[in-house]
Amino acid sequence: MNVSVQSAASGRFATPLLAVPVFADAPGDEAVAGLDAGTAAQIAAARARGDFTAKENQTLLAYPAGGDSPVERVLLVGMGKRDDLTPERLRRAGGTAAKQAGKVRAERVAFVLPAGLLAAGKVDARQAAQALVEGVALGAYTFTEMKSRPENGDAPVALSDLAVLVEGDDSAAAVREGARVGEILARAELLARDLGNLPGNVATPTYLAQTAEKIAGAHGMKLTVLGRKELEAEGMGGLLAVAQGSEQEPKLIVLEHRHGGKGTKPLVIVGKGVTFDSGGISIKPAANMEEMKFDMSGAGATLAAMQAIGELGVKADVIGVVPTTENLLSGAAMKPGDVLRSHLGKTIEVVNTDAEGRLILADALSYVRRFDPAAVIDAATLTGACVIALGHQASAAMGNDEALIEEIRAAGDRVGQRIWPLPMYDEYREQIRSDYADIKNSGGRPAGTITAGWFLREFVSYPWVHLDVAGTAYGEGKLPYQTRGSTGVPTRLFVEWVLARAG
Ligand code: BES
Ligand code: MN
Ligand code: ZN
């Protein structure tokens, strides 16, 4: 999507769809300023009759009459109360405009950022533009890569062009900078969505490694990919055990962005990359098992965040790590009761082969000790219990450093990707005590998300936060800037955290 920022009077900008944000509690005059008298009258009538009250994400479509209007359609987008404006509201408004553009088959959209909006809430011009551009770019996303023919015989209309209109030049520079960053972040998040939506027979561990290769090549990052042989030499018994039942070669992918200068400790991001999780011998029920292609969502967000960090040229040392494999069944597959030796040296009793994510993450978390990290965040679609606990509204956070958890929570709030902490009382750890090995890989059903977190914690020796994104990484596409399938969560959170750390 091509994004431009232009100083133009909204009524005079030639576009098939002009989106105008409107506050519920501000006089409507500003919204209609610059529009022709007929359209302004239509809008005024809709407001007077209470058909359009400008509550959040409410829309009104109006059609300028007369053949000479450069604006073909006007879309009012409700923003709620002026003082309640947040970047997330703008992101949703952008998504709403993109969805409407799709409905009327418009390839271009113009979105006005009026001066009154840029002074509202606690949002500055740069943040507003960034969130808006993210929302439009994300909302315009469709995943059609696997379809050979468009539906209904209609050729798909892709939104190719967004013009952000600002009044005057005061805020143009800030808006331009926000738009640039928003475009990079949205493109990264769409990479994460593509990786998630691609089926397991395409998005294999090898495919993820090839994706990492492209990112490394484009942004001068160091790339290390360990295959089966190297994983054996490295002693990655957890990752190898999960991969035992699969014909696909497992990989450990390590991308290093080194721009922090001498003596800085790196920030490390780790993402679970199970490209399909059948459960293994502890096989999952057939219903909805196809959703387990999304079990590499943490990996997708990690690669995507690294792409954005490379494009933004972030002045920090950031390392992205992805352990990736399938979890399948075969005569060679690991079995319940098997005991394996992890990379750290701890032995693990596998009581359930479906608790595979923690096995590959334990090895990755042990591997990253060599980088002497300042802090590590991992993201994983780790437990079904997390979906029961928090639903689809927040990712669960656990860790060994309260300040770091709070830092991640704040970063998530700033970018509209919420996390919520779960307690790690010592007593929960008892559930993963094993009679036959140092630890077992399942603590049963009670507090399943927390005992998974405790399992990971046993392999960590630095400030660390674990995000369980099982309920947030994919879904129905309820928000205006989402579509059914992969959400790209937590790509924005990762990048925001790194940017905040880099200062
Ligand atoms: N990938 C699943 C978790 C999952 C479930 C993600 C549903 C998204 C939606 C994970 O590997 C898994 O199977 N976890 C088990 C752990 C249990 C066996 C201790 C689970 O949650 O049932
Ligand atoms: Mn599983
Ligand atoms: Zn899994």
Which residue owns the Cα nearest ligand 1 atom 3?
383
In a domain, 461, yes or no: yes
Which of 157, 189, 221 is a domain's end point?
189
Task: Determine phi and psi for 235, rounding to 5 degrees.
Answer: 75, 35
170 and 309 part of one domain: no
Whole-number Å distance, alpha carbon 385 to ligand 3 midpoint, is: 12
pLDDT per residue over 96-126, tens digit each? 999 999 999 999 999 999 998 998 888 999 9
Q: Is 352 in the pocket of ligand 1 (CB under 6 A)?
A: yes
In a domain, 200, yes or no: no
Q: What's the rounded Cα separation, in Å, for the pair 348 and 374?
A: 27
Whole-number Å distance, alpha carbon 383 to ligand 1 midpoint, is: 4
196 and 274 Cβ atoms separated by less than 8 Å: no
> How confident is residue 357, by pLDDT bands cut at 50, 70 and 90?
very high
Q: What is the pLDDT of residue 121?
A: 86
In a domain, 374, yes or no: yes
Kindly identify the ligand whose nearest atom is closest to the C-alpha of 291.
Answer: 1
> Residue range 12-32: average pLDDT?
87
- Burial class of residue 148 (count of CB atoms within 10 Å of its CB; 0-12, 13-18, 19+): exposed
119 and 234 part of one domain: no
Which residue owns the Cα nearest ligand 1 atom 16?
355
In a domain, 207, yes or no: no
> Residue range 148-160: average pLDDT?
77
In a domain, 197, yes or no: no
412 and 475 part of one domain: yes
Rounded to whole angstroms, what are the CA distances from 352 to 234, 275, 457? 24, 19, 19
pLDDT per residue over 445-473, tens digit each? 999 999 999 999 999 999 999 999 999 99
In a domain, 152, yes or no: yes
269 and 154 part of one domain: no
235 and 342 part of one domain: yes
Which residue owns the Cα nearest ligand 1 atom 14?
383
Which residue owns the Cα nearest ligand 1 atom 5?
384
242 and 320 part of one domain: yes
270 and 364 Cβ atoms separated by less than 8 Å: yes
Q: What's the rounded Cα separation, in Å, for the pair 365 and 358?
A: 10
DSSP calls for 303-342: HHHHHHHHHHT-SSEEEEEEEEEEE--STTS--TT-EEE-
Cα dihedral 378, 131, 485, 324 in deg (nearest 10): -30
> How confident is residue 28, by pLDDT bands cut at 50, 70 and 90?
low
Question: Is residue 33 over pLDDT 70?
Answer: yes
Closest atom of ligand 1 to 442 CA is 19
Closest atom of ligand 1 to 277 CA is 1
> Residue range 387-400: average pLDDT?
98
Question: Is residue 151 over pLDDT 80?
Answer: no
Q: Is 142 in the pocket of ligand 1 (CB under 6 A)?
A: no
226 and 322 part of one domain: yes
Which of 125, 155, 189 is a domain's end point?
189
Q: What's the rounded Cα separation, in Å, for the pair 406 and 399?
A: 10
315 and 424 part of one domain: yes
Q: Which domain holds residue 385?
A: 212-285+299-489
390: its two tokens: 């928090």
Whole-number Å distance, alpha carbon 282 to ligand 2 midpoint, is: 9
pLDDT per residue over 266-310, tens digit each? 999 999 999 999 999 999 999 999 999 999 999 999 999 999 999
> Residue range 331-337: average pLDDT?
98
Q: CATH number, domain at 181? A: 3.40.220.10
170 and 120 Cβ atoms separated by less than 8 Å: no
Q: Amino acid identity of 258?
A: R
171 and 242 part of one domain: no
Task: Name, in order, each residue with C-beta under 8 angstroms of 280's C-beta and a sequence gap of 6 or more.
Answer: 242, 245, 327, 328, 329, 333, 334, 353, 354, 356
> How confident is residue 31, by pLDDT bands cut at 50, 70 and 90?
low
> Residue range 401-409: average pLDDT?
98
**Nearest to residue 97, comparing CAs of 35, 15, 19?**
19
Give yes or no: 258 in active site.
no
Q: Is 448 in the pocket of ligand 1 (CB under 6 A)?
A: yes
In a domain, 470, yes or no: yes
130 and 265 part of one domain: no
Whole-number Å distance, alpha carbon 157 to ligand 1 midpoint, is: 37
In a domain, 199, yes or no: no
First to last CA, the chain: 29
Q: What is the pLDDT of residue 29?
A: 66
Which of 132, 155, 189 is a domain's end point?
189
Task: Name, in order, each residue with C-beta under 8 angstroms of 220's C-beta and a sequence gap of 6 or more.
Answer: 310
> How confident is residue 334, by pLDDT bands cut at 50, 70 and 90?
very high
Q: Is 405 in the pocket of ligand 1 (CB under 6 A)?
A: no
154 and 280 part of one domain: no
Q: Which residue has the higher pLDDT, 149 or 387?
A: 387
Closest atom of ligand 1 to 274 CA is 1
> Residue range 57-69: average pLDDT?
89
Q: What is the pLDDT of residue 152?
A: 66
> How confident is residue 153, by pLDDT bands cut at 50, 70 and 90?
low
105 and 14 part of one domain: yes
Q: CATH number, domain at 442? A: 3.40.630.10
Whole-number Å distance, alpha carbon 224 to ligand 1 midpoint, is: 28
> Residue range 242-246: average pLDDT?
98
Give yes or no: 284 in active site.
yes
Q: Which residue has the higher pLDDT, 469 or 169?
A: 469
For a mutational test of ligand 1's pocket, the pick from 383, 472, 476, 489, i.e. the residue with the most ligand atoms closer than 8 A to its C-beta, is 383
Whole-number Å distance, alpha carbon 245 to ligand 3 midpoint, is: 14
Lowest mean pLDDT: which of 152-161, 179-188, 406-415? Answer: 152-161
Q: What's the rounded Cα separation, in Å, for the pair 428 and 433?
A: 10
Domain count, the chain: 2
DSSP calls for 42-68: HHHHHHHTTS----TT-EEEE---STT
Question: Taking all residues of the chain, what is their mean pLDDT, rounded to a whole number?
Answer: 96
200: its two tokens: 């397991």
Q: Is 468 in the pocket of ligand 1 (CB under 6 A)?
A: no
Q: Is 470 in the pocket of ligand 1 (CB under 6 A)?
A: yes
Give the count of alpha carbons within 13 A of 9, CB side only. 9
> How confident is residue 154, by pLDDT bands cut at 50, 70 and 90?
low
For a mutational test of ligand 1's pocket, the pick from 239, 354, 450, i.e. the residue with the most ligand atoms closer than 8 A to its C-beta, is 354
What stretch of H or E contains 367? helix 357-367
Q: What is the pLDDT of residue 75?
A: 97
The structure's pTM equals 0.98
Q: Is 442 in the pocket of ligand 1 (CB under 6 A)?
A: yes
The residue from 358, 414, 418, 440 that is catalytic is 358
